[in-house]
Amino acid sequence: MRFNEPRFLWTIAALLAAIAISVLFIDRPLAAALTGIDPQIKAIAQRVTWFGRSPSYLVALAIAALGLALIGRFALSRRARVLARSWSWAAAYLFLAIALSGIANDLVKLLIGRSRPMVDAPGLHPFSFSYDHESFPSGHAAVAFGLAFGAMALWPRWRWPLLAFGVAVAASRVALDVHYLGDVIGSVLVALLTVRCLTAFFARRRLVFRLGSDGKPILRLGPLPRSRRITPA
C-alpha cells in the first residue's frame, strides 16, 4: 500500500492548504459570527457532538471483538469460526481506527497548544495541559472521522453517509464555540493519516485486508465469494 499515490498526496495537500487558509483568514471572523447563534441550534449541536465521544464506541467494539473471537474459537461449524474470526479482526480494526486517531490527535493538541475560541488571550501554549489551550485539532472530530474512515474501508458504498456523519460532528464543535474551523479540518487530516497507516498495517498482515498486485488493499472478510477492491481512507 503506497503513500505516494497522486490522489492521496493531493488530498493531504488540499487539507493542509485548507487549514492554513482557515487559520489565517476564516477562524476568528467565523467564531465571532457564531457568538450569538440561536440557542436551538446550540441545543442541536450539543446532541450531535455526543457522537464524537469515543468511550461508547470503544466499549461496544471491544465487546464485539472479544465475543466474535470466542465464537471463532469454539463454534462447531468451520465456516462460522472463520467468519467470526474475520469479523473479530474487523471490530478490532474499527476499535484501533477510533482509539489511535484520538491518541494521535491528543499528541498534536499537546504539541500545538492553540487557545480555544472562548479564551480571551489567543495564541499558542504548547504543553500547557490546559483545556483552554487544547483547540487544535478537535478530539471529537478526530474520533468521528476515525470511525468514518475506518468504516468506509469496510463498507465503501456507505462513504457519503459516513462522511456526512463526520462533518456533522465537526460542525457541532464549531457551533458550540469550542473549536475553530481550522481545528476540525486538522482533525480530518489526523484521522486520515492514522487510518491510512492502520489499513496498511492490517493489509500487510492479511488481517481484514490483503494487498493487491498494485499495492492497494482488498477487503477480505470471511469466506466471501470474491474479493472486493476498496479505496481506503
How many CB atoms sit inside 10 A of residue 21's CB? 14
pLDDT tens digit sequence for 10-34 = 999 999 999 999 999 999 999 999 9
Which whole number is the average pLDDT over 86-110?
97
The residues facing 150 across adjacent strands are none
Compute the distance between CA of residue 139 and CA of residue 178 in angstroms, rounded to an integer.
11
**Cell numbers 464485539 label which residue?**
64
Confidence of residue 95 (pLDDT cuts 50, 70, 90): very high
218 bridge partner residues: 210, 229
Grid cell for residue 199: 489499513
To the nearest whole percent, how much of the chain has pLDDT over 90?
75
Residue pLDDT, tens place only, 191-230:
999 999 999 999 999 999 988 887 788 888 754 444 445 5
Under 8 Å between Cβ of 156 and 230: yes
Evaluate if residue 40 carries a pLDDT over 50. yes
The whole-number pLDDT of residue 225 equals: 40
Q: Global pTM?
A: 0.90
Identify the bridge partners of residue 124 per DSSP, sorted by sequence position: 114
Q: What confidence score (pLDDT) does residue 216 get?
A: 82
